[in-house]
Amino acid sequence: MTETRTALITGASRGLGLALARSLAADGWKLVVDARTAGDLDAAATDLDPSPGPMGRQVKPPGVVAVAGDVASEEHRLALRRAVADLGGIDVVVHNASRLGPSPQPTLDTYPLHVLRGVYAVNVFAPLRLTQLLLPHLRPGGRIVFVTSDASVEPYGGWGGYGSSKAALDQIAAVLAAEHPEFRIYAVDPGDMNTRMHQEAFPGEDISDRPPPEASVPGLREILTGRLPSGRYQARALPAVPPLEAVR
pTM, whole model, 2 decimals? 0.90
Contact (CB, 8 A) for 95 and 173:
no
Q: What is the pLDDT of residues 139-177, one digit of tens each?
A: 999 999 999 999 999 998 888 999 999 999 999 999 999
pLDDT at 62: 66
What is the rounded CA–CA span in Å between residue 209 and residue 62? 36
pLDDT at 246: 41
Q: Is 6 left (phi over 0), alpha (psi -120 to 50) or beta?
A: beta
Contact (CB, 8 A) for 45 and 39:
no
- Using N-to-C axis directions, what is the helix angle for 217-225 and 15-26, rounded to 10°? 60
For the chain, give every domain's residue range.
6-245
CA 148 to chain centre: 9
Q: What is the pLDDT of residues 53-63, one digit of tens each?
A: 554 455 556 68
**Is the predicted pLDDT of residue 51 greater than 90, yes or no?**
no
Architecture of domain 6-245: 3-Layer(aba) Sandwich (3.40)
